[in-house]
A and B are shown apart, each in its own frame.
Chain A
């Protein structure tokens, strides 16, 4: 047989077309909702229309009599067996939290909370019967607006006595990692620059395209749960913990999962209820949410007020940064809800050499859908704040925003660099990424055009926005997570199995849902073992196959999960080397391995990996005492976070007569270390950028003053379409990471972290000469128009105004409390 070897020299770095796509483009898919099992029953939820109410009665008799209804379960029915939903990240020892029932028993704390479940033979019959469940409520005052809630004006959970869940502080002076921020601010007030701002991170909804779906089959020895989740291993552990089922009796499968973005990093009431229903009826049960249920009950993201004080010298060298956050938890603490702001705590100092830093976050309950991780989780908020502030500082000093960044950033020769938060950034080159971005953007030409348009008083003004971001991802070193009181570790596991026919099975503890791990892991293993890309099969997402893992989130899969794969593959090679030495009658020390072949150093003698694998399988001729098995496992616990960075430049046109904004150009140059598959990397960056742009321009979860989510469908929650977006210019510079074998850094969240401030900076830059220095997100035409009309020359470069402008009426500031509640919770 003639074999034409058209493989690339190395798989790593090659734009391999994805293995996953062969199925996905023909509709040969395994979404959880596709699953049908014999005798399967279907669930429909009855949800509270009230944000806060006492349940006075639940009458399910009519529903129970409806056609083909098998059972109805209420909170009262399951209160002794449903347990409470877990929070895995108590950020302080005295953190307050209400118990979180899957089905509310006597009180509901947000509109959309489940009060009963109908189990019927078809989804339609279940939904029809759900309409017949008669729930009487005694409505209670609801805590909705974040600042009012922080002041305990109305209690979201009266039994707690306060809406404050926890207060978490980091201070560089106290930690010994930097100076005293108050001293820096005092010094800057005397002849330096002090910039005080308050920014709003609006509430967002992850809005993955596949609505969540759960199936539980109770008919086997193990309870099998199919879940559209990012975290099948978490689901297994928490199903065991919450319902008191031995973990060994639970199998969780995440089949094809249609996006997550953090929104499926959760253990949900719907999962528990599906299990309860299956155990109650003894039959497989399925629950698939509608889109409107998804938007109201799957966790939300962001939702912070950020009070910021930046101190600098008169020439723009930052001397200190103080950050005071209010973070809206919503009604309950989900899996990592309280920790989301903390993931941003060490990133407000970003790429800069700030000498003093202070961070405080107050986590506050409201009667709204609970918040939790959404793409970037804490780091987009931090990046937004500091990148907006650096633009303000540039205005104060009177220099270009890139110039002010350069005065403050870590120079490439300073790496590895220990930040004011005590984190060691391993590698980076901000100068190189910025230079490349400026070149691709045509920075100087666009600045010139901006000047021309200003001079001619063009009704359509041009603005240029800068975002030089970094982030910490690759979650995470277990010891660091432990020091932050997170319940679990951050390692990842993998195994590599050598099949007798020469094929290779890679089992990974990561759980991809669009990221292309099957392709990327195949590329890595193909290089490592010298086998064809096509011969590698990647298995994941089933706890009976990949029994050990911590799943996919926080841009961790490549830098942690694939490192475990590499180490498992290396163990295979070490075992095989012993067999090869035996077969070649040489000593192990003299055996080299390259390109899939073992050779005796200095000779022509060689054994292909496939021959060694067969020898180990047949076990006819192995070294004495050698266990006939080349399969290997590895668990990798990273020593550090991953610190990708990049420079994003955005040009926005703003119609000053209508407030309409149009993106003209977007350039992203990211440094994510070594690239395994450039095609996948570009896709991750594109998608991330557009999600971040969507926060800047379009998306907001809006509640009315009764606590009803009014952006509760895709009509009102305006995720962007192809017609709203433009083609992007994406490129990379490379500073390999020094903390893993390949030198990779995380990429999944980078675009979403970087792009939001780039867009808002561009819009503000376009209209700053009209007196605007801030516009609250999302920057809708109405808000832009209002900002332009409302500005009266107050936003220009004036140190005095900047230091004392926290008055009512400034765009991102909470108006007086009356106005805040009048407008409803934002």
Chain B
């Protein structure tokens, strides 16, 4: 067991974890952050995407011990209280989700993408989301939502 202290969605947690524990297992099984989900074993689907110190990571590709002393944001910590993040609003407004299983990872990746590139073209959105798979939407409305969300994040100037 290894002791880690990690801040998740604004709360500091200290836990003893098995060194082999994946970050996503720690989030789900220890902290109850079940909004973040596991979709594959190989880092392909991106459903488990969270932010580590503000940048997107696939939480099935990191060990919990690697986040010791760092800050993690999950989909559950993205909204500001009752106020949704503009990207969450955009996903709902554009019907960018159906079953919703990929959605947490997709939104976290979209936020990261727009943080890096505030005014992405459609092609840039498509490239930027390549590591996040969705089986329901055909991506059409996701791409639309990310561009709408990008506009909202930069104060409506898209």
Contact = CB atoms under 8 A, between A and B. Distances in A.
B64 to A, nearest CB: 13
Given A25-B92, A31-B34, A722-B125, A209 B47 contact: yes
A93 interface: no
Interface string B31-47: 00111111111101101
A209 B102 contact: yes
Interface in A1-31: 17-18, 20-29, 31
B23 interface: no
B79 A261 contact: no
B41 A27 contact: no
A341 B51 CA distance: 46
Contacts of B36: 27
Contacts of A727: 122, 140, 143-144
Contacts of A207: 135
A27 B137 CA distance: 18
Given A292-B41, A680-B95, A723-B127, A259 B101 contact: yes
A266 interface: no
A258 B129 contact: no
Contacts of A714: 40, 42, 44-45, 133
Contact of B135 (A25, A124, A261, A725): A261
A24 B36 CA distance: 11
Given A258-B100, A722-B143, A18 B95 contact: yes
Q: Which of B40, B133, B144 has the most CB of A within 10 A?
A: B40
A210 B99 contact: yes
Contacts of B131: 721
B140 A728 contact: yes
A13 to B, nearest CB: 15
Contact of A291 (B33, B34, B39, B127): B39
Interface string B85-104: 00010011101011111111
B93 to A, nearest CB: 6
B107 interface: yes
B99 A27 contact: no
A515 interface: yes
B35 A209 contact: no
B84 interface: yes
A650 to B, nearest CB: 14
Given A259-B99, A725-B138, A22 B92 contact: yes
B78 interface: yes
B138 A713 contact: no
In terms of DSSP, what is the predominant structure of the interface of chain B? Answer: loop
Q: Which of A27, A124, A720 has the most CB of B within 10 A?
A: A27
Given A27-B76, A208-B135, A258 B101 contact: yes
A472 B14 CA distance: 57
A211 B102 contact: no
A209 B92 contact: no
Nearest to B46: A721
B104 A27 contact: yes
Contacts of B134: 209, 722
Contact of A719 (B98, B99, B130, B135): B135
A327 B98 CA distance: 31
B55 to A, nearest CB: 19
Nearest to B134: A209
B75 interface: yes
Contact of A723 (B76, B98, B130): B130
Sort chain B's interface into a size bin. Answer: 35 or more
Contacts of B41: 290-292, 713
A516 B44 CA distance: 27
Q: Which of A256, A258, A684, A689 has the most CB of B within 10 A?
A: A258
B142 interface: yes
Interface string B11-53: 0000000101000000011000111111111101101000000
A259 B133 CA distance: 13
A689 B127 CA distance: 20
A217 to B, nearest CB: 18
A727 B101 CA distance: 22
A24 B37 contact: no
A686 interface: yes
B38 A26 contact: no
B98 A683 contact: yes
Contact of B137 (A24, A292, A686): A686
A683 B34 contact: no
B92 A27 contact: no
A721 B99 contact: no
Contact of B139 (A21, A290, A722): A722
A257 interface: yes
A453 interface: no
Contacts of B144: 727
B75 to A, nearest CB: 4
B68 to A, nearest CB: 20
Interface in A660-712: 679-680, 682-684, 686-691
Contacts of B92: 17-18, 21-22, 25
Contacts of B125: 722
A29 B34 contact: yes
Nearest to B122: A727
Contacts of B40: 291, 713-714
Nearest to B141: A683
Given A27-B104, A723-B126, A687 B98 contact: yes
Contacts of A719: 133, 135
Contact of B126 (A680, A684, A722): A722
A687 B137 contact: yes
Contacts of A290: 41
Given A21-B97, A25-B107, A209 B45 contact: yes
B45 A29 contact: no
A110 B100 CA distance: 32
B138 A690 contact: yes
Contacts of B18: 124
Contacts of A686: 137-141
Interface string B124-158: 01110111111111111111100000000000000
A824 interface: no
Contact of B93 (A17, A208, A514, A721): A17
Contacts of A208: 99, 101, 135
A794 to B, nearest CB: 36
Contact of B136 (A33, A291, A514, A682): A514
Contact of A20 (B35, B100, B132, B137): B100
Given A27-B76, A259-B99, A209 B135 contact: yes
A34 interface: yes
A688 B98 CA distance: 12
B74 interface: yes
A291 B140 contact: no
A317 interface: no
B84 A209 contact: no
A715 interface: yes
B20 to A, nearest CB: 8
Contacts of B104: 27
B1 to A, nearest CB: 13
A22 B93 CA distance: 11
26 contacts: A20-B100, A22-B92, A23-B100, A25-B92, A26-B76, A27-B74, A208-B101, A209-B39, A209-B133, A259-B99, A291-B40, A292-B41, A513-B99, A683-B98, A689-B138, A714-B45, A714-B133, A715-B42, A719-B135, A721-B131, A721-B133, A721-B139, A722-B126, A722-B127, A723-B129, A727-B122
Given A25-B84, A124-B18, A208-B99, 5 more contacts: A17-B95, A25-B88, A28-B35, A721-B139, A723-B126
